[in-house]
Structure 1
Amino acid sequence: MNGETTKPATHAERLTRTLVTGANGFTGNWLTGNLLASGHAVTETVAGQGTPETPSRRWLDITSPEECRRVIDEVRPDYIVHLAAISFVAHNDPLDFYRVNVLGTLNLLQACADVGHTPRKVLVASSANVYGNVTSEAIDESFPVAPVNHYAASKASMESLVRTWFDRLPLLIVRPFNYTGRGQTANFLVPKIVEHFARREPEISLGNIDVARDFSDVRYVVRAYEALLDSGAVGETVNVCTGQPYTLREILAIASEITGHELEIRVNPAFVRQTDVKMLAGSPAKLRKLVPEVEAIGFRDTLQWMLAA
């Protein structure tokens, strides 16, 4: 051995390095907490420059190829979970959907190639909105994509680009259906409903209350993402859903039953979008096959949890 000693690996070097883009968003906050609890060394990337960078937090404008290369080269993560996106369907600048959701994703993948780094897996979050208006009550991954708004079209375009990288990087596309939980902003429907019941407001203004969605609990969604990272699945697309749709009318009734409070419902025509998807319910069969240990959380339990916050 000639008296030489091997430098022991530091704690951070032994941990799995995981890069989470969009880490300060609703999903990112919950996922980061889960990953840290599981022993990952998480590097969060966030847009904007409000506070200094730290070893565990980097500023990243994913529309900048240079910034993507810098962060990938500095972190060299074992896993990447790509959540950064414009996700509010009614966002007022259509071009932002494509700059961020499509080109931003491409920049991230290209950065891996440019700096010569191949992670163990890159999990890319798409959306079930890519399916559009489908009459089936159990949409599986074989259904064609038929987006009906800019958000969905940008996600469908992103998926097409990601698939061209399947032979270069170990990629997995997830298509979450609607999900909610504590910390989601009130411009999303379920938090808006919960907030009105929690404050015992006399009335609420909504759009079409008969649209049906397959609502999941955010805690279930991030558990599924973490389990999929550890699974052998690559080069695939996977729905993340429960298979159980609820209309807004039904959600209002459950919240009323939990709280004992009645709300007068006012339908505001301004909130009724012509491109609204009327029914969106998925088949979780593939997800259950890949990660059978991840169990869904009943939606009534989710509402109770949110109302108790």
Structure 2
Amino acid sequence: MINKKILVTGADGFIGSHLVEELVRRGHQVRAFVLYNSFNSWGWLDGVPVDIKDNIEIFAGDIRDPYGVKKALQGCQVVLHLAALIAIPYSYHSPDTYVDTNIRGTLNLLQAAREVGVEKFIQTSTSEVYGTARFVPINEEHPLQAQSPYAATKIAADQLALSFYLSFGLPVTVVRPFNTYGPRQSARAVIPTIITQLAGGQRRLKLGALHPTRDFNYIKDTVNGFIATLTAENCAGEVINIGSGYEISIGDTARLIAELMGVDDLEIVTDEIRLRPAASEVERLCADNGKACRLLDWQPRYAGREGLARGLGETICWFTNPANLSRYKAELYNI
């Protein structure tokens, strides 16, 4: 893989920027597809170390444009497709944009990859496609349940990708990360929401539902899962969960973060605007990562309560840096 050029879409985002940074550190040739904007911003890639930035080839475009996508793929042998709209509340507000980006954008990339003849196409999924767990731990055979427009578009994108494997032999692997967290994550996610509120001095923490459980996966583990998929053989046509296998409620997560931040006078209140519609709330998630262990030789390094606390500690350290915290509007609800 060192001699292959890798196209990473969504490279300017949370997971994508960490993935690009690690790929470059490991000596890979990376073309980073970032969303075109008039500020010439590369998103989170703007802040990576200079020695990393100097070794990234930037392509500014839009995944919804098939012509730009085809141009971005020229000369690339591998695709890591992470570009997507991901905020669940915003998908209630503007579902049409999710269809355009998550479904049409994926189709554009699949068509171009088929024409170019890429050697590996890694499609990024999400644990949200499972909906509320019917059984735990959730393996890759679990039924798919779209409980939000976001989840519906991700199911569609995954199925499109797999259809190109079955119909045309495109070497697609679907990587399905569970709830990734870590430095650079948007405040629309619950862990940054908790940390930024507490770091801003608030002791009356505003959250949505506290009882749902999640399988939080630290960013380093997620990135290592993607990279393991790059080099793994015999995983074309497979769907692979990347998760820690540890389940914790939102309420207990908030209390653990408060403990790690030395906050002992915490009050948690329910903010109605942060609640999902009842039937849309995913009540329980917990990954079966056995397939990733077998096919990818991957193991979570931040597993269990101890691993979660360690990952949260690293995340808190990043967010409480004043330069990083200033990027966030902790007093506002980020849809």
CA contact (8 A) 1:130 1:147 kept: yes
* Separation in 2, partners of 1:62, 1:218: 24
Matches within 5 A, 1:127-276: 127-166=126-165, 167-232=168-233, 233-261=235-263, 262-274=265-277, 275-276=280-281
**1:194–1:303 CA contact under 8 A, matched in 2:** no
Distance 1:47 1:58 in 2: 8
How many positions carry a matched residue from both structures?
A: 293
Query: Where does 1:104-115 land on structure 2 (aligned, <5 Å)?
Result: 104-114=105-115
Q: By percentage of residues, which structure has more helix?
A: 2
The one-letter code sitting in structure 2 at the alignment partner of 1:207 is G
Q: Which amino acid aligns with 2:172?
A: L
Q: Which amino acid aligns with 1:304?
A: G
- The structural deviation recorded for 1:293 is 4.4
Residues 1:243 and 1:295: Cα distance change in structure 2 (over 3 Å): closer
Once the two structures are superposed, residues 239-286 of structure 1 have per-residue CA deviations (whole angstroms, 9 ceiling, x without a partner) of: 111111111111122122222213211111221112110101111010
Is the radius of gyration larger for structure 1 or structure 2?
Answer: 1
**Residue 59 (structure 1) aligned with residue 60 (structure 2):** yes
Q: Which amino acid counterpart does residue 293 of structure 2 have in structure 1?
A: R
**TM-score with structure 1 setting the length:** 0.90
* AA of the residue aligned to 2:28: H
The answer (yes or no) to whether the contact 1:181–1:306 under 8 Å persists in 2 is: yes
Which contiguous aligned blocks of 4+ residues in structure 1 show a shift greater than 6 angstroms?
Answer: 52-55
1:189-208 Cα shifts (integer Å, max 9, x gaps)? 10111112323322111111
2:89 aligned counterpart, secondary structure: coil
Q: Is 1:35 paired with 2:38?
A: no
Rounded Cα–Cα distance in structure 1 between residues aligned with 2:65 and 2:243? 32
> For structure 1, which runs of at least 5 residues remain unmatched after alignment?
1-12
Aligned-pair distance for 1:168?
A: 2.6
Q: Which runs of 5+ in 2 are unaligned?
A: 43-53, 319-335
Overall identity of the aligned pairs, in %:
28
**Any conservation in 2 of the 1:242–1:284 contact (CA below 8 Å)?**
yes
Answering whether residue 288 of structure 2 is matched by residue 300 of structure 1, we say no
**TM-score under structure 2 normalisation?**
0.83
Letter in 2 for 1:251: T
What amino acid sits opposite 1:292 in the alignment?
A: D
Whether 1:71 and 2:34 are equivalent positions in the alignment is no
Instruction: Go from structure 1 to structure 2 and tell me whether the alpha carbon gap of 1:52 and 1:153 turns closer, same or farther (over 3 Å shift).
Output: closer
Offset of residue 292 of structure 1: 2.4
Change (3 A) 1:282 1:52: closer
Shift in CA distance, 137/52, structure 1 to aligned 2, threshold 3 Å: closer
Aligned partner letter, 2:123: V
Aligned to 1:280: 285
